[in-house]
């Protein structure tokens, strides 16, 4: 009887406590607000919200990864469809170890490798926000199902053992409070390295090349080390902070794709002191040059000059221009010049950027992605919008792979100081979501080889046995 | 599921009215097949066509839209009398420019979206002239609000600057989705001058994205090219909706020239027949049909569809199909001014004096609306400067001076419906062998008297207040290219073609929405009213097909 | 901070002008370079010189000069001969009196030629009626003359509200 009561009473007490906890607020407003700010810095909303009016944090965004499509989960406090039943420990484990409440690992599309740096008080504040600061959405997000064998989540445990560092921020001496704060935000909440650090064969971040640039889906997250030509060595800290707040540095660069999203939802809402700290830290990184963009040694910024080739196409007629040797110039004039100027100079006061002195036209990928996907970036300064030219319903014009390649070559040569090396196949790769990783094929081939080896081994053993018996 | 042979609803015409109706039907789960007489052309091509035009032809908005041979449309600066598409007669020439491409004539409209006022819809009751509409402003108002949000129409939140004016008791049910576009320097000056005479130059309600992207299209950046084409899609035109319609399941067949609407013995429409670019005939069946071809092509198609049971054409027991053709006759004042105005910065039509279109005088003569045209002037004035024999720096200075110091002010009038202003099928044939439309037109004494005693004197007063040193006023009315009246709306099937939902009185499953249904023109551009009628028809179609 | 409008625009104009003047060869494609090779010579030089006199501009776009010369020669068989006569007349110094044409009646063909050349430079159009060919739009001098205030139609001016300022 005593044993029974010993078991029942805690359960009953637990139930009573849970019920009362559900009925009253567990967290104070200040903690929830701190959690909201950290969630903004961590940009949870960008991945965990579907485009075109998805409910905030309710998941459903399909992200194209090199091994297949990953769908974000509902992280609202819905008990049936979200994380409403998560304890704080389970929340912390998901965030910092990439382990769900049911014990299954998450895919590192969720940047738990970076969030592993978050401190306990910050995780607590985030928990408070997600439990009581986010409206519950009673709608399930679709499941992720990657192709075999990537759908075997248990393999992630091996990956985590190899590549997840539970203490990713090394102890340091003699660093200022601003630098430490900047590192905490950049390497932790803002997870810059998730996009900007190149990855190895098993898709792990190459820490020795931290922030040196990486292809992420359709866009290229550029080199943001302070390298003088390949990176942002020519930017001051104040300029970098301004870029994070507005997404734009006139005569240098502007954010599009996922970075535009990060500016819109995250960086533009951070306090100036935090932006300054991030800039201070980023500018202190070791400079690295991967040799990715343009001519070796040529700076990414300050390239190109105004000019046009209208003499080639004016007066001939559009069809002749599109069929002739100046396809790139004709496509530019017909589609781009209206905003970016007949000579690539943009508008007065640079509202539409010039295409020279613009890092977007240096190197291939981001120029192609900008053409196909456009730019959509909202900050306190306004809503920057360049329409897409791909296959979207709102494409201003649907350009073919051949037309985009000719256009990219025209812009790259005229305004980006580059060469004319873009091919229609390059456009097709970006159009379908970005380069595919060989990892999937490698894994399948590796498994097939493993099976064959096992079969061969079994066959040999069986033959040997038979041989022994027969002898 | 719609296919190229049949659909729940067949819509002939992919202009702004057809496209608005299609989207409403698709959202209600109704399958839609759209037939478009002309080709699908990219914006890039149209923009380059414009830039490649010799300067003299840039002023004709149809010049950058060369028609396909099977879908001719008027080309005023290129046509000879022998190959002209419209066969015009009468003291006033009903010259039009409309575009038979996918997207229709909103390719080159200015975007102006003036609502009607309650008085505009009650001319007979209030002034004893013209026709009353079959319903009042209150019925139309919610549709106006829907059109403004659908197309992205910007306008002022201050009721003192809105149209209809506050005095007519017409509160807006919804605010504009976007604020008005700022005035350029010439428009600001014109506003000051108008105010000094006691008139309000108010922001034009216009389908242009002001200060923000809308409808997944960019914001206006003042390319000053709205007419003939917006290079960036900041001005709404129906071509921008086609991709979205297809993503919702619409089937769009281009280069399909409808030439016959087929009715059965009971008067129900069964099919539309069209010719393709190889002159082959196709038959498309459906449960319900919408003809949204524009105010000339729709009555033309009805007349071409005559058969033994309908010797006067379809939907024509009233004998009103093709009659009551209306437009907004306009007179342009070209002024040389003593101070620089610098028209040409900003959108091409951005403001107007509308209050002069209303008043008790309408029992005697037409009202008029005045607008300061904001097209860049240099292409108009350079010819004159060259013809003066100027060279060198003097030539540059003259071009600068005339560009800054000349302006066009347009007086746009209303017109009354008249049975003799009539579209018929001429004896001339087009490339496909279909009859070219003939239109007889006379703007009428009601409008002529307005020019004599009202609008031109008003225009002169304003020109003087602007400090004009030279004033040239057109002596003959030009047309504003707003085609109205050919399938007029009314309660009585004996003197009207369509009912209040733009359903043909004679055929239960045939809808004729658009400018042709308008019972009065008022003075402001007709597009928003046409689309409002289209949405009202779409609601009726959804109810009729049991999908409400 | 956004730099001052005037200084940046002027910088771009200077940059653009210098580029166009100094790098004409690089702007021409292979096909135009070949034509340039064929057309280069005293005829083109004379045309450019006469154009400078008529337009009053010391610096003219070499790419446009070439395109106009090419189109005008196609339009008039003895263009070079007519050019020579016009150059001679202008050299006498009486045909242009204070920036206005003062050709005598006997010099009517040269006046017509001057008009055609100016039409080409200012409107970017060579020829008349159905034979008119558009050679330039953005660079037409009628657009350049007002470029401080207006942008040629179909090219963007700037963000919403930027057109409000009185010039």
Asked if ipTM goes beyond 0.90, one says yes
- Asked if A332 contacts A399 with a C-beta cutoff of 8 angstroms, the reply is no
Interchain proximity B44–A397, CB inside 8 Å = yes
C7: left (phi over 0), alpha (psi -120 to 50) or beta: alpha
- One-character DSSP codes across A242-297: HHHHHSEETTTEE--HHHHHHHHHTGGGS-HHHHHHHHHHHTTSPP-----SSSTT
**CATH says A26-165 is which class?**
mainly alpha
Query: From the CA of C119, how many Å to the nearest CA of chain A?
Result: 15
Q: Are A240 and A345 in contact (CB under 8 A)?
A: no
Hey, CA dihedral for A191, A193, A194, A196, is it positive or negative? Answer: positive
B506, pLDDT greater than 70: yes
Angstrom distance (rounded) from CA B200 to CA B202: 6
B386 near A CB under 8 A: no
The answer to whether the peptide bond before residue A149 is cis (omega within 30 degrees of 0) is yes
Query: Binning pLDDT at 50, 70 and 90, where does residue B55 land?
Result: confident
Exposure letters B131-170 (e unless 16+ CB within 10 A, then b): bbbbeebeebbebbbbbbebbbbbbbeeeebbbbbeeeeb
The model scores a pTM over 0.95: no
CATH superfamily of B6-544: FAD/NAD(P)-binding domain (3.50.50.60)
How high does pLDDT run on average in chain B?
Answer: 96
Nearest CA in chain B to C99: B391
Note whether A339 and A355 are within 8 A (CB).
Answer: no
Task: Check pLDDT > 80 for residue C50.
Answer: yes
List of E strands, chain C: 125-126, 133-134
Strand order in the sheet with B422-429: B87-89, B435-440, B422-429
Distance CA A159, CA A194 (A): 16
Give the mean model confidence (pLDDT) for residues A436-453: 81
* pLDDT for A150: 79
CB contact under 8 A, A308 and C138: yes
- Residue among A314, A317, A397 minimizing CB distance to B43: A397
Q: Where are the domains of chain B?
A: 6-544
Tell me B478's DSSP state: B
- Alpha-carbon torsion, ordered B535, B539, B542, B545, to 10 deg: -110
The subunits that touch chain A, with at least 3 C-beta pairs less than 8 Å apart, are B, C
CA atoms within 13 A on the CB side of A287: 10
By the CB < 8 Å criterion, does C90 face chain A?
Answer: no
| pLDDT tens digits along A220-244 | 999 999 999 899 999 999 999 999 9
Give CB contacts under 8 A, 24+ apart, made by B117-122: B117/B163, B117/B164, B117/B165, B117/B168, B117/B170, B117/B358, B117/B522, B118/B164, B118/B168, B118/B169, B118/B170, B119/B168, B119/B358, B119/B362, B120/B357, B120/B358, B120/B520, B120/B522, B121/B519, B121/B520
- Helix A424-431 × helix A401-416 angle, to 10°: 110
Q: Tens of pLDDT along C33-46? A: 556 666 677 888 88
Interatomic CA distance for residues A123 and B452, integer angstroms = 80
Question: Whose CA is closest to B205, among B357, B351, B355?
Answer: B351
Residue in B479, B45, C1, C17 with CA at minimum distance from that of residue A345: C17
Whether C3 has a pLDDT exceeding 50, the answer reads no
Question: What is the end-to-end Cα distance of chain A in Å, rounded?
Answer: 69
Chain A residues in contact with B232 by the CB 8 A cut-off are 338-339, 387, 396
Residues in C touching B50 (Cβ below 8 Å): 153-154
pLDDT score recorded for residue C29 = 40
Would you state the pLDDT for residue C38? 67
Q: What pLDDT is stored for residue A419 in this prediction?
A: 83
Percent of chain A predicted with pLDDT > 70: 93
Angle in degrees, 0-180, between the axes of helices A257-265 and A237-246, rounded to the nearest 10 = 90
Q: Which whole number is the average pLDDT over A336-341?
A: 95
Q: Where are the domains of chain C?
A: 41-145
**DSSP per residue, A196-237:** HS-B-TTS-B-GGGTTS-EEETTEEE---S--TTTSSTTS-H
What tens digit of pLDDT does each residue of A38-65 get?
999 999 999 999 987 889 999 999 887 7
Supply φ then ψ for residue A64, to 5 degrees: -80, 120
What pLDDT, in 10s, does the model give residues B367-418? Answer: 999 999 999 998 889 988 999 989 999 999 999 999 999 999 999 999 999 9
Choice among B365, B482, B505, B507 that is catalytic: B482
Q: Who among A316, A385, A397 is closest to B213 (CB)? A: A385
Instruction: Specify burial of residue B92 (Cβ count, 10 A radius: 0-12, 13-18, 19+).
Output: buried
Q: Is pLDDT above 80 for B7?
A: yes
Active site residue B482: yes
With cut-offs at 50, 70 and 90, classify the pLDDT of residue C12. very low
Which residue from B212, B216, B221 is facing A339, i.e. has the nearest CB? Answer: B221
Q: What is the pLDDT at residue A67?
A: 77
Q: What pLDDT does residue C5 have? A: 38
* Residue pairs spanning A and B at CB distance below 8 A: 67
Determine which of B218, B221, B236 to mutate to test the interface with A (most A C-beta atoms within 10 Å).
B218
Question: Is residue B547 over pLDDT 70?
Answer: no
Q: Are C19 and A250 in contact (CB < 8 Å)?
A: no
Q: How many residues does chain A have?
A: 471
Region B245-269 average pLDDT: 97
Look at phi and psi of residue C151 and say left if phi exceeds 0, alpha if psi is from -120 to 50, else beta. beta
- pLDDT at residue A23 is higher than 50: no
pLDDT value of residue C7: 40
Task: Give the SS3 label for residue A383.
Answer: strand
Nearest CA to A63 out of A78, A77, A52, A49 is that of: A49
- pLDDT tier at A68 (50, 70, 90 boundaries)? confident
Cis omega (within 30 of 0) for bond into A333: no
Query: Coil, strand or helix: which one is A2?
Result: helix
Question: Which residues, 6 or more positions from B102, have their beta carbon under 8 angstroms from its beta carbon?
Answer: B14, B36, B38, B39, B40, B41, B239, B242, B252, B254
Q: Which three-class secondary structure state does DSSP give residue A378?
A: strand
Q: Which uninterrupted H or E stretch holds A384? A: strand A382-386
Residues of B in contact with A317 (CB under 8 A): 52
| CATH of the domain spanning A310-431, picked from 3.40.50.12780, 3.20.20.120, 1.10.760.10, 1.20.1730.10 | 1.10.760.10
Residue C20 has pLDDT above 70, yes or no: no
- Mean pLDDT is lowest, of A338-347, B519-528, B531-540, C72-81, for C72-81
C5 part of contact set with chain B, CB < 8 Å: no
Residue C84: predicted pLDDT:
87
pLDDT tens-digit map of A282-312: 999 999 998 765 555 677 888 888 888 777 7
pLDDT digits (tens, 9 = 90+) for A113-163: 999 999 999 999 999 999 999 999 999 999 888 888 778 888 888 888 888
User: For residue C17, is pLDDT > 60?
Assistant: no
Positive or negative, the CA dihedral B188, B190, B193, B199 is negative
What pLDDT, on the 0 to 100 scale, is given for residue A16?
Answer: 55
**For a pLDDT cut of 90, what percent of chain B falls above it?**
93
Residues 6 or more apart from A368 whose CB is under 8 A from it? A404, A408, A422, A426, A427, A430
CB contact under 8 A, B392 and C142: no
User: A314 and C137 in contact by Cβ < 8 A?
Assistant: yes
pLDDT recorded at residue A69: 85
- According to the model, what pLDDT value does residue B64 have? 93
**CA atoms of B438 and B94, how far apart (whole Å):** 10
Most C CBs within 10 A among B63, B350, B378, B379, hence the mutation to make, goes to: B378
Interchain pair A338, C136: CB under 8 A = no
Mean pLDDT of A2-29: 63
The stretch A438-467 carries a mean pLDDT of: 84
3-state secondary structure at position B252: strand
Question: What is the rounded CA–CA span in Å between residue A57 and residue A72?
Answer: 9
- Stretch B498-512: mean pLDDT, rounded? 98
Integer-rounded Cα radius of gyration of chain C:
18
- The answer to whether residues B474 and B331 touch, using CB atoms and an 8 Å cutoff, is yes
Residue A402: pLDDT above 90? yes
């Amino acid at each position: 009887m005593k044993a029974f009561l010993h078991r029942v009473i805690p359960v009953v007490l637990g139930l009573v406590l849970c019920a009362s906890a559900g009925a009253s607020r567990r967290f104070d407003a200040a903690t929830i607000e701190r959690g909201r700010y950290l969630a903004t810095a961590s940009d949870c909303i960008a991945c965990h919200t579907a485009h075109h009016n998805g409910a905030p944090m309710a998941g459903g965004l399909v992200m194209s990864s090199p091994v297949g499509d990953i769908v974000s989960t509902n992280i609202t406090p819905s008990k049936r469809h979200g994380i409403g039943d998560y304890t704080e420990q389970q929340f912390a484990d998901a965030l910092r170890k990439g382990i769900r409440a049911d014990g299954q690992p998450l895919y590192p599309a969720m940047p738990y490798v970076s969030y592993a740096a978050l401190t306990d008080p910050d995780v607590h504040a985030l928990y408070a926000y997600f439990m009581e600061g986010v409206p519950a959405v009673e709608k399930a997000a679709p499941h992720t199902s990657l192709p075999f064998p990537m759908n075997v989540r248990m393999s992630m445990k091996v990956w985590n053992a190899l590549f997840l560092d539970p203490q990713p921020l090394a102890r340091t001496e003699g660093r200022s409070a601003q630098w430490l704060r900047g590192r905490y935000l950049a390497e932790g909440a803002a997870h810059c390295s998730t996009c900007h650090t190149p990855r190895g064969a098993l898709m792990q971040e190459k820490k020795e090349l931290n922030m040196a640039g990486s292809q992420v889906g359709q866009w290229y997250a550029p080199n943001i080390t302070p390298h003088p030509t390949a990176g942002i060595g020519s930017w001051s800290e104040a300029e970098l902070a301004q870029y994070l707040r507005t997404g734009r540095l006139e005569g240098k660069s502007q954010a599009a794709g996922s970075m535009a999203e990060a500016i819109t939802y995250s960086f533009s809402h951070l306090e100036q002191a935090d932006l300054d700290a991030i800039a201070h830290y980023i500018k202190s990184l070791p400079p690295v040059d991967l040799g990715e963009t343009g001519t070796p040694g040529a700076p990414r910024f300050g390239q190109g000059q105004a000019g046009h080739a209208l003499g080639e196409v004016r007066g001939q007629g559009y069809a002749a221009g599109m069929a002739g040797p100046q396809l790139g110039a004709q496509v530019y004039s017909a589609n781009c010049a209206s905003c970016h100027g007949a000579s690539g100079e943009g508008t007065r006061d640079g509202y539409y950027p010039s295409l020279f002195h613009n890092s977007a036209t240096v190197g291939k990928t981001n120029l192609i992605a900008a053409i196909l996907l456009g730019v959509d970036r909202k900050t306190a300064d306004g809503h920057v919008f360049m329409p897409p030219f791909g296959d979207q319903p709102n494409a201003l014009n649907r350009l073919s792979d051949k037309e985009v390649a000719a256009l990219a070559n025209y812009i790259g040569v005229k305004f980006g100081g580059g060469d004319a090396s873009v091919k229609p196949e390059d456009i097709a790769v970006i159009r379908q979501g970005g380069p595919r990783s060989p990892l999937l094929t490698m894994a399948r081939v590796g498994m097939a080889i493993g099976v064959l080896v096992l079969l061969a081994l079994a066959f040999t053993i069986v033959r040997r046995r038979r041989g022994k018996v027969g002898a | 599921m719609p296919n190229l042979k049949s659909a729940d609803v067949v819509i002939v015409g992919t202009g702004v009215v057809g496209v608005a109706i299609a989207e409403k039907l698709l959202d209600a789960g109704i399958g839609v097949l759209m037939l478009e007489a002309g080709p699908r052309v990219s914006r890039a091509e149209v923009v380059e066509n414009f830039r490649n035009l010799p300067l003299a032809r840039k002023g004709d908005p149809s010049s950058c839209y060369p028609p396909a041979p099977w879908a001719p449309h008027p080309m005023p600066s290129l046509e000879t009398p022998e190959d002209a598409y419209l066969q015009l007669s009468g003291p006033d020439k009903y010259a039009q420019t409309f575009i038979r491409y996918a997207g229709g004539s909103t390719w080159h409209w200015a975007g102006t979206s003036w609502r009607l006022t309650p008085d505009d819809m009650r001319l007979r009751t209030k002034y004893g002239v013209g026709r009353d509409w079959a319903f009042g402003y209150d019925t139309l108002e919610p549709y106006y609000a829907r059109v403004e949000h659908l197309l992205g129409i910007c306008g002022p939140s201050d009721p003192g600057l809105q149209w209809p004016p506050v005095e007519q008791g017409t509160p807006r049910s919804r605010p504009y989705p976007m604020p008005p576009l700022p005035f350029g320097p010439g428009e600001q000056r014109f506003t000051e001058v108008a105010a000094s005479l006691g008139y309000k130059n108010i922001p034009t309600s216009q389908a242009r994205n002001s200060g923000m992207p809308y409808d997944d299209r960019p914001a206006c950046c003042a390319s000053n090219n709205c007419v003939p084409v917006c290079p960036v899609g900041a001005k709404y035109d129906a071509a921008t909706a086609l991709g979205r319609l297809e993503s919702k399941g619409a089937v769009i067949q281009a280069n399909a020239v409808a030439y016959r609407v087929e009715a059965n013995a009971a008067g129900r429409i069964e099919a539309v027949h069209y010719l393709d670019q190889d002159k082959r005939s196709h038959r498309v069946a459906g449960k319900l049909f919408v003809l949204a071809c524009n105010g000339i092509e729709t009555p033309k198609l009805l007349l071409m569809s005559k058969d033994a049971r309908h010797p006067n054409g379809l939907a024509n027991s009233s004998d009103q199909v093709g009659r009551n053709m209306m437009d907004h006759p306009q007179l342009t004042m070209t002024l040389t001014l003593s101070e620089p105005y610098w028209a040409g910065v900003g959108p091409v039509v951005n403001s107007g004096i509308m209050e002069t279109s209303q008043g008790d005088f309408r029992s005697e003569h037409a009202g008029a609306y005045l607008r300061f045209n904001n097209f860049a002037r240099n292409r108009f004035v350079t010819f004159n400067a060259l013809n003066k024999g100027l060279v060198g720096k003097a030539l540059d200075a003259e071009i600068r001076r005339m560009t800054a110091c000349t302006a066009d002010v347009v007086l746009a009038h209303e017109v009354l419906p008249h049975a003799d202003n009539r579209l018929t099928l001429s004896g001339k044939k087009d490339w496909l062998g279909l009859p070219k439309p003939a239109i007889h037109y006379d703007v009428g004494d009601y409008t002529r008297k307005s020019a004599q005693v009202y609008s031109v004197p008003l225009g002169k007063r304003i020109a003087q207040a602007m400090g004009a040193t030279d004033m040239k006023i057109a002596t003959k009315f030009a047309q504003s290219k707003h085609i109205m009246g050919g399938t007029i709306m009314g309660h009585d099937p004996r003197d009207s073609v369509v009912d209040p939902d733009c359903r043909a009185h004679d055929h239960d499953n045939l809808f004729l929405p658009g400018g042709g249904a308008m019972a009065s023109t008022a003075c402001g551009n007709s597009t928003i009213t046409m689309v409002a009628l289209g949405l009202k028809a779409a609601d009726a179609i959804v109810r009729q097909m049991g999908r409400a | 901070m956004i730099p001052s409008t005037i200084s940046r625009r002027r910088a771009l104009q200077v940059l653009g002008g210098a580029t166009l003047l100094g790098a004409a060869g690089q702007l021409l494609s292979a096909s135009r370079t070949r034509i340039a090779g064929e057309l280069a010579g005293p005829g083109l030089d004379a045309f450019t010189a006469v154009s400078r006199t008529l337009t009053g501009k010391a610096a003219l776009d070499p790419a446009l000069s070439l395109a106009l010369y090419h189109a005008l020669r196609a339009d008039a068989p003895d263009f070079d001969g007519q050019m020579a006569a016009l150059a001679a007349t202008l050299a006498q110094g009486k045909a242009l009196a204070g920036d206005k044409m003062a050709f005598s009646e006997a010099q009517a063909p040269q006046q017509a030629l001057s008009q055609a050349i100016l039409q080409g430079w200012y409107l970017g159009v060579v020829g008349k009626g159905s034979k008119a060919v558009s050679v330039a739009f953005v660079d037409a001098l009628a657009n350049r003359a007002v470029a401080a205030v207006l942008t040629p139609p179909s090219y963007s001016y700037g963000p919403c509200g930027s057109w409000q300022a009185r010039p």
